[in-house]
Amino acid sequence: MNSQERVLAAGERTRTDRPATSLRFTPEALESMRVHLELPESDNLLNNVLDELDVDVRWVPVPFIGPKDKATPMLGGEGTDFWGIQYQRAQTLTNLYFEFSYHPLATATTVDDIENYDWPSLDWWDYEAVPELIERAHSKERRCAVLFVGGAFESPWYMRGMEQFLIDLHTAPELAEAICRKVQGYYSARAERILAATEGMIDVIYSGGDLGEQRQMLLNPDLWRERIKPFTAKLITPFKEMGFKTMYHSDGAIVPVIDDLIEIGLDFLDPVQTKATGMTPEELYPRFGQRLSFHGAIDEVELLNHATAEEVYAETTRVIDILGQQGGLIVSATHVVQGDVPPENIVAMIKATQAYRWSDDE
């Protein structure tokens, strides 16, 4: 069985030869893995690390070819991104991050202000380069290609500023909805172009936007249903109807809206922040495990960065026993692997998953 088949089966909650795996890294964590695995430096380093670990999922890159002054990756560099959002450096002991320094729609007061904004062009992406980039990821075997299409909650508040956007949802919903409509429309149209260029090479459509913090949601669930869910659905439901598996990313405690996400066509919930309220495997599986698969669930907050490799191996096995008991789990960290995670712990997580076998009598 190859990686693509293994991941797609997880979306159907079907047991295979072993659970599927996935990994994402900060640059610091990736370099740490390279050194640990004794791999040479390479412009294809991420794929080389994932191949060395025999990880199943690959994230599809889409090269930016638009204006150089808007070429900064979202939350991935210092400068201005394609939306016009600006970022500045924020260095910690283990990782370099980037935080917001300018929200381009912060001063908008009317829907016309939003409509007349200098929105990005769909021609700023090199769609024709994507097939070759996907093929490079299949050098060892056919992997599962996951395309992140965007999100209809985070990008809008990135452009407006979180506090003002949340206020808008209550006091000026026409402004919030205008931004969501423009952002979602752009992401949907870009995805259509990518899918046309790749002709069946993509397996999973991934969207997202953090809706929760550690103890509760960032906004009232009913307000999310009224103002945000319709736009979120447009980045999930059409792709589900086209035959793709779907994945949605949200950190935090989001139990109140998981049923809604299932309703609009969600297959995989990512990243399953198990330390958040209501998000433990023991709580999630009885409520949703017959209708939803999971991606993540190996704790990044306390386990991967502080435990021993033996403890990581044991906890990974325990999580699979619960969330993956019917096959519906892609094992991964509960977010991008950070620079303070010992590479030995990532290897332990992967080895535990690849050694896992379901009992015939279950």
CB contact at 8 A, 29 and 337: yes
Q: pTM for this one?
A: 0.97
User: For 274-286, what is each residue's pLDDT tens digit?
Assistant: 999 999 999 999 9
pLDDT digits 0-9 by tens, 258-269: 999 999 999 999
* Count of CB atoms situated within 10 Å of the CB of 162: 14
What pLDDT was estimated at residue 359? Answer: 83
Distance of alpha carbon 8 from alpha carbon 205, whole angstroms: 12
Secondary structure letter of residue 14 according to DSSP: -
Kindly tell me if the per-residue pLDDT of 362 is higher than 80: no
Give per-residue pLDDT as tens, 221-273.
999 999 999 999 999 999 999 999 999 999 999 999 999 999 999 999 999 99
Contacts of residue 307, defined as CB under 8 A and 6 or more positions apart, other chains included, come to 315, 345
pLDDT confidence tier of residue 299, bands split at 50, 70 and 90 = very high
Q: CA-CA distance, 226 to 224, in Å (whole number)?
A: 5
Return d(Cα 273, Cα 359) in angstroms, integer.
27
Q: What's the pLDDT score for residue 113?
A: 98
Contact 89, 78 (CB under 8 A): yes
The strand pair at 96-102 and 86-91 is best described as antiparallel
Strands 293-298 and 268-270: parallel
The pLDDT of residue 26 is above 90: yes
Taking the CA atoms of residue 223, residue 224, residue 229 and residue 232 in that order, the dihedral angle to the nearest 10 degrees is 150
Above 60 in pLDDT, residue 136? yes
234 neighbors 188 (Cβ within 8 angstroms): yes
- Percentage of the residues of the chain whose pLDDT score is greater than 90: 98
Cβ-proximal residues to 336 (8 Å cutoff; 6+ apart), any chain? 24, 25, 26, 29
Domain locations along the chain: 3-355
Mean pLDDT of the 192-220 span: 97
> pLDDT class for 360, splitting at 50, 70, 90?
low
Query: Which residues contact residue 236 at a Cβ distance below 8 angstroms, ignoring those fewer than 6 apart?
Result: 205, 207, 246, 248, 261, 264, 265, 266
Is residue 189 within 8 Å of residue 119, measured between CB atoms? no
Mean of pLDDT values over 183-190: 98
Report how far residue 280's alpha carbon sits from residue 172's, in angstroms, rounded to the nearest whole number: 36
Both tokens of residue 196? 């046309």
Across 332-353, average pLDDT: 97
CATH number of 3-355: 3.20.20.210
